[in-house]
Structure 1
Amino acid sequence: TLNRPELRHAPFVLWGHSMGGRVAQDFVRFKPARVIAFHIALRANPTPKELMEEEAAAVEVPGLYLMGMNDGKPADIREHFREARRNGSPRAWVWLPGQSHWPKGMHFEKDETSVIDWRAWAAHDIVIPWTEAILKLRLPMNADPRKGSVDLLPVDLTKGWVADVELKAYGPVSKFDAIDSAKSWFPNEKVTRAWASDSISESD
């Protein structure tokens, strides 16, 4: 056992690639109070319907869905996003142009992936500012997990920006419907513009 008492109650930001995305989903379903936010990255394989259902506490957890345009694009994960948005979840969908299940140059025998390709595959320019902004929204002032559970703050959907993943239209919540299954919710203008620069739209 690690002698790290602050980890006993520490909340998490989860990032899961492929099957790791399923693990992140499941953790949110079972322990939503411990999750600040989660990322599902390039999760190509479908999941049984009963494992896609979320209760209200899980729906409140912010999520970023990072999907490669050249990857599997399973219908169930897109519906997972849309159902969460219909229920008022602060989540966003990002299409990654030109990305497959693994970054360009990745081989199990030899990794020839450049720093630029790694950064693009991991959606670094979106993930980092999105995560930083969500941390500020979710963590209460003076939170100290060494003293017990951290009561994460809910996200106010009347603030922030929204973006249409099909039309690539975006703007402040005051100009759009903040709860719309076709639209992503972002915490601020900076993250939204990063999404607009790095992702592309595609109709299903």
Structure 2
Amino acid sequence: MPNRPLPALFLVVLVLSFPAASPAQQAPYDVFPAAEPPYYRVRYEASKTPGELIYSVNYTIWIPKDVKTLRGVIVHQHGCGEGSCKSGLTGAFDLHWHALARKHDCALLAPAYEQPDKADCQMWCDPRNGSSTAFQKCLVDLGEKSGHPELAKVPWALWGHSGGGHWAGGMVMLHPERVAAAWLRSGVPMLKANPVGSTIKAHILHEAALKVPILCNLGTKEGVTVKEGRFAGVWPSNETFFSEIRSRGGLIGVAVDPLTAHECGNQRYLAIPWLDACLSARLPKVAGDPLNAMPTDKAWLAPLAGGDAVIADKFAGDPLKAVWLPNEAIARAWMQYIEDTAVTDTTPPPAPTNLKVAGNELTWDCEADLESGLAGFIIERDGQLLANVPEQGKNPFGRPLFQNLQYSDTPGQPLVVMKYTDTKAEAGKKYAYRVIAVNTAGLKSKGDAE
């Protein structure tokens, strides 16, 4: 990395068919970050009308600063179960997903369905059971709240985990003209008749859905290398879904995480660049225009079982059985991901801004790195290392992150803030402070100083 001059230093003087949840069951969904601009929230009560959503739901949205007209909405959809539903309450506050939304003038939306413990997940993760209608209603209502009525009509980029993957894939089948791309982590909808006794209804695969880029992502312990256990059926379902779509020329790929089971792991380091590539190609320049067709002339193909990806013209096998990848950059990232999830990044993160010191308390702002997110900050005082924030990064599922990470790929609660207290500072003494951002690839930014 080339050396850059350090910024000038300024001296300062320290001076989450069943009935609606009962109050006891709703308790996990009562605690979530406040939705103050640029965040907005709507909540709908459970409906008793047949065909409508039987669970209450919160929708929280983040709007990038200074965006005049939104070009799309990125949806981060949690999975099934009370714990996963609860984790959806922080999805719109994820700084890494903000970076993707900001780049494309998109909003970031995170639903949180109030599914009671052990209740039927299909009643929301199958969008035909009222969640598609509720989702589209929230776009209208949030558009009014935020002053962005175009929200009701913009395209969708869908990310979903487990039941959320079922939901996102179902929305592709129902509304292909609205979906720019869909990433399905550990969950896909059914496209064929189900076994006797199953309550899951098959979707119809329309021609338009074949034009939507889809990537199926799952852990190797979900039926690939581990053939027994709770999640062993994930791979057979993904393989069937992939084969149905790809055999008809659909733009679909598979990425097997070599380290995980059902947890999300490091998938965001491939998911965000992949969605970035799809949004760059598909979002229209003029809001309200139809989605652009996904280009296929730069596509790469790879064996479903894994291995090297090559440009489509040089693929030796049957292309309608091969993993479809949109371009060379994504293909190379895919090859790294399926090897060890260590997708590389060579560009430093954005530098912190707006550093302020009040007494012995430092506060600052910082945007996350699009490729590698935000691991933490280095605090310097008078040119010397003072502290790392956080002192020890946490993430039981993958690379340590500044905001930590829950099972369904959302920040932990309470949300961490960009703040540090210098407990060793002497009152009345002058100090020069500098804050440096570090991404999850270990690359450092320039510093903001005061």
- Aligned positions of 1:36-185 closer than 5 A: 36-43=180-187, 47=190, 49-50=192-193, 51-71=202-222, 72=231, 73-103=234-264, 121-140=265-284, 142-145=285-288, 150-176=289-315, 180-185=319-324
- The amino acid that maps onto 2:158 is L
Residues 160, 47 of structure 1: alpha-carbon distance in 2 compared, 3 angstrom cutoff: closer
CA distance in structure 2 between the aligned counterparts of 1:47 and 1:81, rounded to whole angstroms: 11
Higher mean C-alpha deviation, range 11-20 or range 158-167: 158-167
CA distance in structure 2 between the aligned counterparts of 1:177 and 1:30, rounded to whole angstroms: 34
Higher mean C-alpha deviation, range 74-83 or range 187-196: 74-83
Which ranges of structure 2 fall in alignment gaps of 5 or more residues? 1-140, 194-201, 223-230, 340-450
What SS class does the counterpart of residue 49 from structure 1 fall into?
coil
- Which structure is richer in relative contact order (CA contacts within 8 A, separation 6 or more)? 1
Cross-structure match for 2:10:
none
* Residue 162 of structure 1, CA deviation: 1.2
* Residue 159 of structure 1, CA deviation: 2.4
Higher mean C-alpha deviation, range 8-17 or range 150-159: 150-159
Cross-structure match for 2:168:
24
TM-score normalised by structure 2 residue count: 0.37
Residues 167, 144 of structure 1: alpha-carbon distance in 2 compared, 3 angstrom cutoff: closer
CA distance in structure 2 between the aligned counterparts of 1:128 and 1:167, rounded to whole angstroms: 21
Which ranges of structure 1 fall in alignment gaps of 5 or more residues? 104-120
Residues 87, 10 of structure 1: alpha-carbon distance in 2 compared, 3 angstrom cutoff: same
Deviations 1:33-58 (A, max 9, x none): 110000110128x8472424411011
CA distance in structure 1 between the aligned counterparts of 2:161 and 2:316, rounded to whole angstroms: 30
CA distance in structure 2 between the aligned counterparts of 1:194 and 1:177, rounded to whole angstroms: 21
- The amino acid that maps onto 1:187 is P
The runs of at least 4 aligned residues of structure 1 exceeding 6 Å deviation read: none
Residues 179, 62 of structure 1: alpha-carbon distance in 2 compared, 3 angstrom cutoff: farther
Task: Report if aligned partners of 1:164, 1:184 keep a CA contact under 8 Å in 2.
Answer: yes
Cross-structure match for 2:70:
none
Cross-structure match for 2:334:
195
Higher mean C-alpha deviation, range 94-103 or range 59-68: 94-103
Q: Which has the larger radius of gyration?
A: 2
Residue identity (%)? 30
Residues 184, 5 of structure 1: alpha-carbon distance in 2 compared, 3 angstrom cutoff: same
Higher mean C-alpha deviation, range 152-161 or range 61-70: 152-161
TM-score normalised by structure 1 residue count: 0.78
Deviations 1:42-86 (A, max 9, x none): 128x84724244110111110011111112334132111122111
Relative to its length, the structure with more strand (as a share) is 2
Task: Report if aligned partners of 2:191, 2:241 keep a CA contact under 8 Å in 1.
Answer: no
CA distance in structure 2 between the aligned counterparts of 1:130 and 1:178, rounded to whole angstroms: 24
CA distance in structure 2 between the aligned counterparts of 1:70 and 1:100, rounded to whole angstroms: 4
Higher mean C-alpha deviation, range 178-187 or range 50-59: 178-187
* Residue 173 of structure 1, CA deviation: 1.5
- The amino acid that maps onto 2:210 is V
CA distance in structure 2 between the aligned counterparts of 1:41 and 1:131, rounded to whole angstroms: 13
Residues 48, 153 of structure 1: alpha-carbon distance in 2 compared, 3 angstrom cutoff: closer
CA distance in structure 1 between the aligned counterparts of 2:330 and 2:163, rounded to whole angstroms: 26
CA distance in structure 2 between the aligned counterparts of 1:193 and 1:66, rounded to whole angstroms: 16
Relative to its length, the structure with more helix (as a share) is 1
Task: Report if aligned partners of 2:217, 2:257 keep a CA contact under 8 Å in 1.
Answer: yes
Aligned residues, how many?
178
